């Protein structure tokens, strides 16, 4: 038997060898026998194991026979939250590798890019640079620095999260006072929508500060396809959102006009400019100066006519501005 075993082992390691045929045949028999025995054993044992308890309960003689061994172990009571392990999370410093996107990093740590962008106070996550360090939470959630009047309950309510999770993750005790500036992990807290849009580079900003002198919509029977913002001649105009200049030139009543394409079907239009600082094809950042207020085209005084279009359909810019 010992000899047989060594030969079989040799066969396993050396691969197929015609001379070993007999030994494998010999081995197959006891293995098969064993398998059959186990199978038969299971077939016999299974009905016993699953035999209903009812007959023994129904029979008044069961006590005389003796209590049968317990066949079922009742499951532990469920729904006891105190048995769940406390929520854990920590902060990791991650060095951005070439080709990394926020989606990659978020997926690696089972979180989401919006939260990462907010935690790292990123203005635009498309500008992630290799070698840059990103702070990553190991769960979805945000970070918060405690203000003087902050309490655990207050923070939990403001971010709509579970105070018990907040306590567990930050190793606090109920009733603990928070120290000002203390950094807290807010498990499962979600960033505000505007913050998310800003992080994605999708949030529009005001192109300049000024008084709205004409709103979007019909006025005197004519459609006004944007808003007019009055400002002194020469006031710098900023790109409302990052994008590519698709038009910079003169267009009829618009006068000197810049159109930015933001890549998701949205464009923004800046009209009546006195001067233009960018040219067609150029990429611009959100907040970059692209031109100056003027009164070119059909205009009664210096102002910016500002439009936002979705698939070339003018929309009310006030629906997109903060």
Least spacing, CB of residue 226 vs Zn ion, in Å? 5
Residue 272, interface with Zn ion (CB under 5 A)?
Answer: no
Residue whose CB is less far from Zn ion, 165 or 228:
228
Give the nearest residue (CB) to Zn ion.
305
Least spacing, CB of residue 304 vs Zn ion, in Å? 8
Least spacing, CB of residue 202 vs Zn ion, in Å? 24
CB 289 within 8 A of CB 240: no
CB 216 within 8 A of CB 314: yes
Residue whose CB is less far from Zn ion, 159 or 306:
306
Least spacing, CB of residue 289 vs Zn ion, in Å? 21
Please give the span between the terminal C-alpha atoms of the chain, in angstroms, as a whole number.
84
CB 161 within 8 A of CB 189: yes
Residue whose CB is less far from Zn ion, 209 or 300:
300
Determine which residue in the list 228, 229, 248, 309 makes contact with Zn ion, applying CB under 5 A.
Answer: 228
Least spacing, CB of residue 214 vs Zn ion, in Å? 6
Residue whose CB is less far from Zn ion, 16 or 300:
300
Residue whose CB is less far from Zn ion, 187 or 294:
294
Determine which residue in the list 262, 292, 305, 309 makes contact with Zn ion, applying CB under 5 A.
Answer: 305
Residue whose CB is less far from Zn ion, 152 or 208:
208
What is the contact surface with Zn ion in residues (CB under 5 A)?
228, 305
């Amino acid at each position: 038997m010992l000899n047989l075993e060594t030969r079989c082992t040799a066969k396993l390691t050396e691969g197929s060898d015609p001379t070993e045929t007999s030994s494998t045949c010999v081995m197959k028999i006891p293995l098969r026998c064993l398998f059959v025995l186990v199978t038969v054993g299971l077939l016999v044992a299974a009905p016993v194991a699953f035999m209903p308890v009812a007959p023994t309960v129904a029979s008044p003689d069961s006590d005389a026979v003796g209590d049968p061994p317990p066949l079922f172990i009742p499951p532990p009571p469920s729904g006891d939250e105190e048995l769940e392990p406390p929520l854990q999370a920590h902060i990791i410093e991650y060095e951005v590798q070439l080709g990394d996107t926020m989606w990659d990093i978020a997926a690696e740590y089972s979180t989401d890019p919006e939260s990462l962008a907010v935690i790292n106070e990123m203005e635009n996550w498309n500008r992630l640079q290799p070698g840059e360090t990103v702070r990553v939470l190991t769960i979805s959630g945000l970070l918060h620095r405690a203000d003087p009047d902050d309490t655990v309950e207050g923070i939990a309510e403001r971010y709509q999260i579970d105070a018990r999770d907040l306590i567990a993750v930050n190793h606090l005790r109920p009733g603990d006072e928070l120290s000002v500036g203390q950094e807290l992990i807010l498990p499962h807290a979600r960033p505000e929508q505007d913050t998310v849009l800003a992080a994605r580079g999708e949030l529009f900003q005001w192109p300049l500060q000024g008084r709205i002198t004409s709103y979007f919509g019909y006025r005197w029977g004519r459609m006004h396809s944007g808003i007019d913002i009055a400002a002194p001649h020469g006031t710098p105009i900023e790109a409302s959102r990052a994008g590519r200049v698709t038009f910079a030139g003169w267009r009829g009543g618009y006068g000197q006009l810049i159109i930015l394409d933001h890549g998701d079907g949205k464009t923004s239009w800046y009209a009546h400019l006195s001067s233009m600082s960018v040219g067609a094809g150029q990429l611009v950042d959100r907040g970059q100066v692209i031109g100056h207020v003027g009164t070119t085209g059909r205009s009664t005084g210096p102002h910016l006519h500002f439009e936002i279009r979705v698939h070339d359909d003018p929309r009310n810019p006030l629906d997109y501005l903060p």
